[in-house]
Chains A and B, each alone.
Chain A
Amino acid sequence: MSLEMFFQHFFNALTLGSLYALIAIGYTMVYGVLRLINFAHGDILMVGAYFVFFGTFAFGWPWGVSAIAAVCGASLLGVLVERVAYRPLREAPRISALISAIAVSFFIESLAVVVFTGQPRPVLQPDWLISEWQWGRVHILKLTAFVPVMTAVLVAALLYILYRTKPGLAMRAISKDIETTRLMGVRVDNIIAFTFAVGSALAAASGIMWALRYPQVHPYMGIMPGLKAFVAAVVGGIGSVQGAVIGGVILGFVEIMSIAFFPELSGYRDAFAFIILVLVLVFKPTGLLGENLKEKI
C-alpha cells in the first residue's frame, strides 16, 4: 500500500473510531451508574442526526446552531427515556429494565418511521468540511481531521466533568456504591439524569458527525453504530470511560484497516467488531480496562 493511501485510511479509521468512541462512552456511563445496557442509545444518535437535518434543511439554521440545538434536544430525550422507562424499574429485577430498554429502542425507531418516514434523507455537508488538504500526493478530507479533533475536545470536556466537578465525583461514586453515595448527600436521581444527559449529548454529537461523514439520515441509522459502539464499550471494559474511547478507536482501526489490506473481505465489514468481541470475551472477559465485576452482562 502506498503511503498516501495509508494516510487516508489512517484518518478514516481515526474518524470512525472517534465516532464509535463517543457513542461507547454513553453505554459505559449509563452502565456505570445503573448497571443497565441502554439499548435505546443508538436511537438517540439517530434522533440527534435528524434534529440537525431539520435544523439545516427545514429551518435553514446555520450548521453550528443546528448542531447545538440537536445535541440539546437529544440530551433531553435521553433524560426523558430514563425518567419514563428506567426510573420506575430501578428496584425491579435487572431483566425488566433491559426489556424496557429494548422496547424504548423499538418505540423510538418506529416513531421515527412514522414521523420522519422511512425514506433516507440527504444531509447538507458544509463545503469547508468536504474540501481537502493536500501535501504532495497525500489528500486528507478535512472532515476526517475535524471529527477526531472534535472528539478529543468532547472527551477532554467529559474528563473535566468527571474528575474536576461535583456531579462528576458523584457519578464516579455512584458507580461503586450507590447507598453510601446517597448517605453523603448526593441526590442520586439527579445525577443519574445528568449521566443520561451527558451520554445522550455525546451520542448526538457522534450522530451529527456520522451524518456529515455518510451524508444521510434514516430511522435505523443508529442501530449498527450503536451495536458496534456497545462492542467497543465491552472491549474497552464496560464502566470505564477511558476503556470506551480505546475500544472505539480499536474498532475503527480494525474495521477500516482490515478492509484496506484485504479488500476481498469488505463484505464482512460488520463482522470484525463481533469477532473482536468474541476474542475479548474469551481472553479477557472484563475488557481491556475493566475491573472485575461480580456480575457480567
Chain B
Amino acid sequence: MSTPDIMLEIKDLYVNYGGICAVQGVNLSIQRGSIVTLVGANGAGKSSIIRSIAGLNRQVTGDILFSRKQGDKPESILGLKPENMVRRGISLSPEGRRILPHLTVRENLLLGAYSRNDRAGIQRDMERVYELFPRLEERSWQKGGTLSGGEQQMLAVGRALMGQPDLIMLDEPSLGLAPLLVKEIFAIIERIHQTGVTVLLVEQNAYAALNVADYAYILEVGRIALEGTGKELLANPQVRAAYLGG
C-alpha cells in the first residue's frame, strides 16, 4: 500500500492542569505496525500525552483518532472513559508500573484481562506472557509488592499485554532499571512488536528508544521540537548534543 496506514493520530492536542499547560498543540501519528517513540526530558509532557490517549486526563482539547484494525475507519477516542480503551485495543503500562502490591502476580495479570471473557484465550495469553517473562511464572503466586523493580516492570508490560492490545503504550519502561535489565526490556519490546502489536514508547533513555523506533518525536516543554525516523534522529547533531550526551 502506498498510502500510509495510520493507526493513531493526534491533532493539535492541548492538555491543561488548572492553568498549567503541559501539552501545547501536539500533532503526532502512529503508523500501524510500527514502534513510535516519544522522547523528552522530565516534565516535557510525555506522560500527559500518553495518559490523554488512555482517557486519564480531563482537560484535553484537540482530537485523537484511532483505527483498531487495518481498514477500520478512524474514530475519535477523545473523551472516552479509560475503562473503554482496553476494549478498543489500547493498553497502557503506566509510568511507575502501578502494580497492585497486594495482589499476586497471577491476579495482576488477570486484572489486565478483565475486559475479556474468553477463558481459553486468557489462559493462552497468560502462557505467552510467562514465556516472555519466565521469572513471572516462577513468582506467579507471589504478591506484586514483593517483586523487584525489574520484575514489576515486566509484570506491568505483561499485564498490558493481557488486554490483547493492538496498540500498547509503555510509559518509561526502563526507568530505574539496571543497564542489563534495560537491555532485556528493550529486547522484549521488539519481540512484542514482532507479534504484530503497534508500540508507542515513552522514554527518557533516548539512545535505546531511538534505536528500536521506526519513528520518533522529541518533545520539549509541551511541544514537538523534532521528529524523524529513529536513525535520522540518532544522527542529528542537535539530538546528540541534548539527549545522547554529545
Contact = CB atoms under 8 A, between A and B. Distances in A.
Contact of A184 (B56, B86, B101, B102): B86
Interface string B49-89: 00000101000000000000000000000000111111100
A172 interface: yes
Interface stretch (B106-114, B198-206, B207-215): B106-114
A136 interface: no
Contacts of A182: 81-83
Given A177-B98, A180-B94, A180-B98, A185 B115 contact: yes
Given A185-B87, A186-B83, A179 B56 contact: yes
A90 interface: no
B113 to A, nearest CB: 8
Nearest to A185: B115
Contacts of A184: 83, 86, 111-112, 114-115, 159, 163
A39 to B, nearest CB: 27
B56 to A, nearest CB: 7
Interface string A167-192: 00110110011011111111110000
A182 B94 CA distance: 12
B92 interface: yes
A166 B100 contact: no
Contacts of A173: 100, 103, 111
Nearest to B91: A183
B66 to A, nearest CB: 16
Given A184-B163, A185-B86, A185-B163, A166 B98 contact: no
B102 A183 contact: no
Contact of B102 (A170, A172, A187): A172
Given A170-B114, A181-B111, A188 B100 contact: no
Contacts of A185: 83-87, 114-115, 163
A163 to B, nearest CB: 9
A64 B110 CA distance: 37
Interface string A183-207: 1111110000000000000000000
A169 B114 contact: yes
A251 B164 CA distance: 48
A187 B103 contact: no
- Which residue of B81, B82, B84, B85 has the most chain A CB atoms within 10 A of its CB atom? B82
B101 A186 contact: no
A170 B85 CA distance: 17
B27 to A, nearest CB: 25
Nearest to B159: A184
Contacts of B92: 183
A264 to B, nearest CB: 46
A186 B83 CA distance: 6
A172 B112 CA distance: 14
Contacts of B83: 182-188
B81 to A, nearest CB: 7
A182 B115 CA distance: 10
A169 B107 CA distance: 8
Nearest to A167: B114
Contacts of A188: 83
Contacts of B163: 184-185
A168 to B, nearest CB: 10
Given A173-B100, A180-B98, A186 B56 contact: no
B122 to A, nearest CB: 11
5 contacts: A169-B103, A172-B103, A176-B101, A179-B56, A185-B87
A-B residue pairs, 8 tightest by C-beta: A185-B115, A185-B86, A180-B98, A182-B82, A185-B114, A184-B111, A182-B83, A184-B114
Interface of B: 54, 56, 81-87, 92, 94, 98, 100-103, 107, 110-112, 114-115, 159, 163
Given A169-B111, A181-B100, A182-B82, 10 more contacts: A169-B103, A170-B111, A170-B114, A179-B98, A180-B94, A183-B86, A184-B115, A184-B159, A185-B114, A186-B114
